[in-house]
Amino acid sequence: MTKILVIGSCGQIGTELVLALRTKFGNQAVVAADLRDTCPEILQDGPYIKLDALDREQVRAYVIEQKIEQVYLLAALLSATAEKNPDFAWKLNMEGLFTILDLAKEGYLKKIFWPSSIAVFGPTTPADQTPQHTVMEPSTVYGISKQAGERWCEYYHNKFGVDVRSIRYPGLISYKSLPGGGTTDYAVDIFYKAKSEGKFTCFLSADTALPMMFMDDAIRGTIELMEAPAEKIKIRSAYNWAGCSFTPAELAQEIQALQPGFEINYAPDFRQAIADSWPNSIDDSHASTDWGWKAHFDTKAMVKVMLENVNSWFSAIFRNFSTWDFYTGCVYSFSWACIRMRKS
Same domain, 190 and 228: no
91-120 residue pLDDT tens: 999 999 999 999 999 999 999 999 999 999
Q: Which CB contacts under 8 angstroms, 24+ apart, belong to 60-63?
A: 60/99, 60/103, 62/5, 62/33, 63/5, 63/103, 63/108, 63/109
Same domain, 195 and 126: no
- Is 288 within the bounds of a domain? no
Q: What is the CA radius of gyration of the chain?
A: 19
282-309 residue pLDDT tens: 999 999 999 999 999 999 999 999 999 9
- Is 285 within the bounds of a domain? no
Q: Quick check: is 186 catalytic?
A: no
Same domain, 116 and 259: no
Same domain, 201 and 70: no
Same domain, 315 and 205: yes
d(CA 297, CA 70): 28
Strand partners, 168: 116, 240
Of 213, 204, 216, 199, nearest in space to 255 by CA: 199
CA atoms within a 13 Å half-sphere pointing along the CA-CB vector of 246: 22
d(CA 204, CA 56): 38
173-227 residue pLDDT tens: 998 877 666 789 999 999 999 999 999 999 999 999 999 999 999 999 999 999 9
- Is 105 within the bounds of a domain? yes
- pTM beyond 0.85: the answer is yes
pLDDT above 70 covers a percentage of the chain that reads: 89
Same domain, 127 and 234: yes
Number of domains comprising the chain: 2
CATH code at 133?
A: 3.40.50.720
Of 72, 111, 124, nearest in space to 228 by CA: 111
Q: Which domain holds residue 49?
A: 4-171+213-241
305-324 residue pLDDT tens: 999 998 743 544 344 434 43
Same domain, 75 and 180: no
Give yes or no for residue 136 having a pLDDT over 50.
yes
70-85 residue pLDDT tens: 999 999 887 778 888 8
- Is 341 within the bounds of a domain? no
- Is 284 within the bounds of a domain? no
Supply the angle between the helices 299-309 and 248-258 in degrees, to the nearest 10. 60
- Is 9 within the bounds of a domain? yes
Q: Which of these is catalytic: 72, 142, 169, 186?
A: 142
What pLDDT does residue 320 have?
Answer: 41
Same domain, 183 and 320: yes
